[in-house]
Structure 1
Amino acid sequence: MSGPYPSTEGNAVPNVDTTDLGDTLADLAHTHPGIDLIRDGIRLLAHDRHNLHTTQVLIAMLAGSPDSTDVLGAIGQLVARLTNPDTNPCLRTLPLDQQKEAERHGWLTSHALTDPDLRDPAANANAALD
């Protein structure tokens, strides 16, 4: 054993199926092919064996980039795009006040998910690995 935590049999990477992450991935199943691809990517990242460098890069790319060029930032930007009638034509069928309210909340989501302070815990996790 290399640390204070017990290793799994043969030092295998444990399956996520019986964890909160596994439950969340199951709940997201079959909503849209794009979400299924995201789920598959998360499952792959969770089950793959990583070294320290790759782990640090993944943490930064998921939620630790100071300029929001990470998956969390991309999700925020996607929400803003989906709630904007200029980039999502289906919203144009709604009354104008409803369009504007959806767009405002999408912008707020993007703003929140691209906030540099949101990345501090992931950046601190990365620093702890150095």
Structure 2
Amino acid sequence: MTGQHVHTEHNAIPNVDDTDLGNTLADLADIHAGIDLNRDGIRLLAHDRLDLNTTQVLLVALAGRPDGTDVLGAIGQLVERLTNPDTNPALRALSLDQQKTAARQGWLTRLALNDPALRETAARACAALDR
């Protein structure tokens, strides 16, 4: 936990503003309505008062499923989709070499974000919450 107090007055949930997360969310503002919806969801999750069970479920859903069926995996699948001219007609105006390069890099991104090693720490954090 960088720069965060462990305890807050009246057990309040600290605001994400002026944190790395808040700064990242601010940097992502107004790119696309879909990104804004994601920002809103992340902010909601960060500010919601959660119980242990819900926290565990969220950790798994965000980045803790070894098979990649989590939010991190979905982002990889989306990157692959957006970089493929078969599923994103905007790329069809590019040369075939550019299309192939974009599609390959998108595929590699999906592979990287589906690496089970990326999920190990989130899964361990989830397990650490067991009573």
Normalised by the shorter chain, which TM-score bucket?
Answer: over 0.9
Q: Report SS of the residue matched to 2:76.
A: helix
Kindly state the Cα deviation for residue 6 of structure 1 after the two structures are TM-superposed.
Answer: 4.2
Q: 2:120 & 2:65 partners in 1: Cα distance?
A: 9
Q: C-alpha distance in 2, partners of 1:110/1:6?
A: 35
Once the two structures are TM-superposed, the CA of residue 97 in structure 1 deviates from its matched residue by: 0.3
Aligned counterparts of 1:70 and 1:129: Cα–Cα separation in 2:
19
| Distance in 2 separating the partners of 1:108 and 1:7 | 41
In structure 1, runs of 5+ residues without a counterpart are none
1:44-59 aligned at under 5 Å gives the runs 44-59=44-59
Amino-acid identity (%): 73
Residues 37-48 of structure 1 aligned to structure 2 (within 5 Å): 37-48=37-48
Q: Distance in 2 between matches of 1:113 and 1:89?
A: 24
Instruction: Kindly provide the amino acid, as one letter, of the partner of residue 118 in structure 1.
Output: L
Q: What is the TM-score with the length of structure 2 in the denominator?
A: 0.94
Give the deviation of 1:94 after TM superposition: 0.2
Q: How does 1:1-130 map to 2 (within 5 A)?
A: 6-130=6-130
Stretches of 4+ aligned residues off by more than 3 angstroms:
none
Distance in 2 (CA, whole Å) between partners of 1:6 and 1:116 is 30
Which deviates more, 5-14 or 112-121?
5-14
Deviations 1:23-48 (A, max 9, x none): 00000000000000000000000000
**1:80 is aligned with what amino acid?**
E
- Aligned partners of 1:8 and 1:34: how far apart in 2? 33
Letter in 1 for 2:43: R
Which TM-score applies when normalising by structure 1? 0.95
Which residue type is aligned with residue 123 of structure 2? A
Task: Measure, in 1, the Cα distance between the counterparts of 2:56 and 2:50.
Answer: 10
Q: 1:20 to 1:32 in 2, by over 3 A?
A: same
**Alpha-carbon separation, structure 2, partners of 1:71 and 1:11:** 29
Q: Which amino acid aligns with 2:121?
A: P
Query: Could you tell me how far apart the structure 2 residues matched to 1:59 and 1:73 are?
Result: 13
Amino acid in the other structure paired with 1:53: N
Q: Distance in 2 between matches of 1:6 and 1:117?
A: 28
